[in-house]
Amino acid sequence: MSELMKNKIIVVMGVANERSIAWGIAQSLHKQGAKLIFTYRKERSFEKLKSLLEKEDVKPLLTVACDVLDDQSLEQAFSTIKEEVGTIHGVVHSVAFADKDELKGEYVDTSREGYLLAQNSSAFSLVAVAREAKKCMDQGGSIVTQTYIGSVRVVKNYNVMGVAKAALEANVRYLAEDLGKYGIRVNAVSAGPIRTLAAKGVSGFNQIMSKIEENAPLRKNVDQGEVGDATMFLLSDLSRGVTGDIIHVDAGYHIMG
């Protein structure tokens, strides 16, 4: 077994259950010898996380609560990480939220409140996380977030989240420029659709998946393992020349006209 992530300590944010993309990433990192710290928001996610860690025999350095909408919670989480662990080498930001009511119908009907909540949770949160994480990244490092093609194309029902992902991708570029001088890289993975808790109950999901099976160059959908391995690459030294970029892990779907 190769150990691409040996001696690296990575913070993973956004495991809600066994289907979470963040859990796929955690498994890829674990396989390569990384030491992991997890953050969660809801108590229910914490319970799921604990049982997953036990089941897969992953021993985290730390698990800590962190609500990305709350500055105090963010500060507290990363100061606990600094006190208990010290230097970290990477962060996985796998967090997004929009009100269910905003993820259907016409985008033009988006409420101010719904717009701000999606931006706050899904785009500004990367800035806030980067600012706190930087305090623990005194040897440089890598920050990776998760985006979706609805940022650059109009995808039915994705609505307010598409606009939030566009902002998230711009955040990746601005943060990459700021943090590059400290040896910290910032990138995103743009994943194809994966059936997770966040995707549950939103209409049109099945149709999108069949369209990809028919039209993507690889004629298949991707899974958490494929996104996990690409994210691991961006967190590893193999990608040391890459920053401010978006890597598509979507079976090639985004190249199609």
Nearest CA among 54, 25, 3, 65 for reference residue 223 = 25
Nearest CA among 125, 124, 166, 175 for reference residue 13 = 125
How far are the Cα atoms of 59, 89, 106, 188 from residue 94, in angstroms, in the given order? 20, 17, 26, 10
Active site residue 158: yes
What is 219-252 written as a DSSP string? Answer: SS---HHHHHHHHHHHHSGGGTT--S-EEEESTT
Active site residue 148: yes
Q: Is 222 in the site for ligand KAL (CB under 6 A)?
A: no
Q: 59 to 118, contacts with ligand KAL by CB under 6 A?
A: 96-100, 103
Q: Where are the beta strands (DSSP E) in the chain?
A: 9-13, 35-40, 62-65, 90-93, 141-147, 184-191, 246-249
What is the smallest separation between the CB atom of 2 and ligand NDP, expressed in angstroms? 26
Q: Is 155 in the site for ligand KAL (CB under 6 A)?
A: yes
Residues that bind ligand NDP (CB under 6 A): 14-16, 20-22, 40-42, 45, 66-69, 94-97, 121, 146-148, 191, 193-194, 196-199
Q: Are 183 and 139 in contact (CB under 8 A)?
A: yes
Q: Is 198 in the site for ligand KAL (CB under 6 A)?
A: yes
What is the smallest separation between the CB atom of 220 and ligand KAL, expressed in angstroms? 15
What is the smallest separation between the CB atom of 5 and ligand KAL, expressed in angstroms? 25
- Out of 40, 107, 115, 148, the active site residue is 148
- Report the catalytic residues: 148, 158
Instruction: Give the interface with ligand KAL as residue ranges (CB under 6 A).
Output: 16, 96-100, 103, 148, 150, 155, 157-158, 161, 193, 197-199, 202, 204-205, 208
